[in-house]
């Protein structure tokens, strides 16, 4: 591995610990490297985030005292090296030599002796046995304890699933192919795949492949979307002539799924507050030859965007802790704080209250999160129904998830879907 690559990975890991997401800091880092190094950099950054808490625990045990704040980058350099020693096929001598060189490249030549000594001891002694659940499962303490409290029978499985490699799942564009037809296309291309269990248009690949290897991808035949996220269209009860709102829509996967599921809709309005994310929605719509009305706005501030016409269907995929998709976004372990959950719950309930007001009588609202915390999920629905009074909670007749009394919870499954929550609410006609 080239030394500059390791230094770049270290800088990315430090940026994540300081509050930037991988989606923010990884693209510019990738742009600094030749194309041949980019997959390795991505694997280093994702892996170091995934196993950060276990590696950090080991490193603290190997250091006689913490590094000075100004040398914190070298702490992260050693974490990247430990990740490779523990979880990669990279030869250990190469890891040690290139890490010492990266230490010089990062402007800390006086610490090369320390780096060399710590890593040689780590190589010689092997990985220590984790002495806490936070270290064993490589999650922050607060998250382990919250999951233990919320899911006393399931928390170890959730934590293990979070550390597994997520499968690559596709949504077949029903306007172009049936699922059976596209499975045949994949077989002809030598790509092993099988139907998803619950999503009617879903296909799970045996191994991930670059999207440009997928038959007819550029022409809109399929999209990459987790099975759990695909289930929204099965709950919306779409029909021709309806006006549909997709709130908090970026990157647009669900917007496109809605349009594919029912091409005869009168209009789909898609909103997202982040202007930087809307181009992704536009790109997805264009590739799939679909059309929607896009607004860059806070969905909860109706004065910013609403034209006064009520909606027949609303999909409200609210901002949440994203604890159901940690396996795809391991930086969540470093970025999320326990103190985030209560403010998020306030935002979720506020959006639900506001958007309920623009749902037509007889209309349906589907509430969704990619969280596994009840505080953001069925407890929000219970609070809303108690406050609203007139809302009718529908129990969908489905084979997936767990009935929480006020919605259905999917826990992350290492062999298939992410963690997700859905609830279906209807507004009475009168």
- Residues with a catalytic annotation lie at 370
Between CA 230 and CA 236 the distance in angstroms is 11
Between CA 142 and CA 256 the distance in angstroms is 36
Token pair recorded at residue 179 = 């699922």
Cis peptide before 251 (omega within 30 of 0): yes
Between CA 20 and CA 186 the distance in angstroms is 37
Between CA 164 and CA 393 the distance in angstroms is 34
CB-based contacts of 39-46 (< 8 A; 24+ apart in sequence): 40/1, 40/5, 41/5, 41/8, 41/9, 41/12, 43/88, 44/5, 44/6, 44/9, 44/80, 44/83, 44/84, 45/9, 45/12, 45/13, 45/16, 46/22, 46/330
Secondary element (H or E) of residue 100: helix 92-105
DSSP conformational letter for 212: G
Using DSSP bridges, classify how beta strands 243-247 and 311-317 pair: parallel, antiparallel or unpaired: parallel
Token pair recorded at residue 316 = 């409200």
- Tell me the CA distances in angstroms from 225 to 86, 203, 232, 322, 332, one per residue in order: 31, 9, 12, 15, 19
């Amino acid at each position: 591995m080239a030394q500059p690559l390791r230094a770049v990975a270290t800088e990315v890991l430090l940026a994540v610990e300081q509050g930037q997401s991988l989606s923010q800091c990884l693209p510019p880092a990738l742009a600094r490297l030749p194309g041949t190094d980019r997959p390795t950099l991505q694997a280093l950054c994702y892996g170091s985030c995934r196993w950060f808490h276990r590696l950090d625990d080991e490193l603290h045990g190997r250091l006689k005292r913490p590094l000075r704040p100004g040398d914190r980058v070298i702490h992260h350099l050693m974490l990247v090296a430990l990740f490779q020693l523990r979880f990669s096929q990279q030869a250990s001598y190469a890891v040690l030599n290139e890490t010492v060189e990266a230490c010089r490249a990062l402007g800390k030549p006086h610490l090369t002796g320390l780096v060399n000594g710590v890593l040689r001891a780590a190589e010689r002694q092997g990985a220590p046995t984790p002495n806490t659940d936070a270290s064993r499962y490589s999650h922050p303490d607060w998250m382990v304890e919250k999951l233990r409290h919320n899911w006393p029978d399931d928390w170890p499985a959730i934590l293990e699933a979070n550390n597994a490699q997520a499968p690559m799942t596709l949504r077949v564009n029903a306007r172009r192919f049936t699922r059976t037809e596209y499975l045949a296309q994949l077989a002809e291309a030598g790509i092993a795949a099988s139907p998803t269990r619950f999503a009617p248009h879903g296909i799970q690949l045996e191994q991930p492949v670059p999207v440009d290897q997928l038959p007819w991808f550029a022409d809109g035949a399929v999209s990459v979307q987790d099975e759990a996220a695909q289930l929204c269209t099965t709950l919306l009860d779409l029909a021709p002539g309806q006006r549909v709102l997709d709130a908090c829509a970026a990157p647009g996967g669900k917007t496109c799924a809605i349009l594919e599921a029912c091409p005869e809709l009168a209009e789909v309005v898609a909103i997202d507050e982040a202007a930087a994310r809307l181009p992704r929605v536009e790109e997805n719509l264009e590739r799939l030859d679909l059309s929607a009305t896009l607004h860059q706005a806070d969905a909860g501030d109706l004065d910013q965007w609403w034209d006064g016409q009520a909606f027949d269907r609303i999909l409200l995929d609210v901002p949440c802790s994203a604890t159901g998709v940690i396996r795809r976004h391991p930086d969540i372990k470093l970025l999320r704080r326990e103190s985030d959950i209560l403010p998020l719950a306030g935002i979720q309930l506020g959006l639900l209250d506001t958007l309920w007001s623009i749902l037509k009588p007889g209309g349906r609202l589907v509430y969704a999160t990619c969280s596994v915390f009840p505080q953001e999920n069925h407890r929000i629905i219970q609070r809303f129904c108690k406050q609203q009074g007139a809302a009718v909670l529908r129990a969908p007749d489905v084979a997936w998830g767990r009935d929480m009394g006020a919605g259905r919870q999917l826990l992350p499954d290492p062999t298939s879907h992410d963690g997700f929550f859905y609830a279906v609410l209807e507004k009475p006609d009168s």
